[in-house]
Structure 1
Amino acid sequence: MSEFGTYDWPAGDYCFLSTECPSDFQTGYIFLDEEDDIYDLDFNMSFCCRNNGLSSVPIQLPTANPFYLFRFVGDCQEVIGMTVREEYIQFDTEDTDNFDELHGSHALVFLENAYLEMRFCYYE
């Protein structure tokens, strides 16, 4: 069983990257069709997400090391004992014959005309 199956994740509004999710999380993925003339490195990101609490209500998570969570529905999830900084990454995907795909529950993204921006939260 994966480490995520044994951890009791608190209620809240967040996602994390994983190919295996706890039973009380929704699953989904983002497939990016990268520019064929540059690298042709299509890739898939699998997510575990939940929205059963308010992001403004702090949750308890391990705080020994910095970590990332992804925004799901609301703002960055507040975490007890951690400061959070919102960050983003942008992808310019294939302009013609694009196969970008958003499926199920996944991190908050903005996708338009072969351009994707993903929001995530850095905790320290």
Structure 2
Amino acid sequence: KNSPGYYIHFEKGSSFIAGGSWSPEVEELKKIRKEIAFFYDDLEKILNDADFKKEFKTLSRDENNVLKKAPKGYEPNHPAIEFLKLKSFTASQKIEDKLFSDSDFAKKIAKKLIVMKNFNHFLNRALETED
């Protein structure tokens, strides 16, 4: 099982923090999409939270992560269609190299990642459901 989680990537000039569920297995993907379809209001509330918007803006998207059309079983005009088309459900934020030398680096990063908690909880809730 590919549980949602937290990620810190250290690479000079390309460091970032992230969280969520990256490239879930087919069955997990179906469960997450079902949760989004049925509980879009919950997801919207999480993504519109001021702290989430400040730290992560919204969910990550790139051409390899988004379906061109609505996934099978979902209407193209579903209010959550932009999220239902995702293949990974993550959010990330670039981290400047200079931040690593701050004495309170761990505290700053932890504070940012705590903002991801409600989103990961939403994803975990989806994955805990039985088909």
Pair in the same fold by TM > 0.5: no
TM-score by length of 2: 0.25
TM-score by length of 1: 0.26
**Higher RCO by CA contacts (8 Å cutoff, separation 6 or greater):** 2
Structure ranking higher in helix proportion:
2
Structure ranking higher in strand proportion:
1
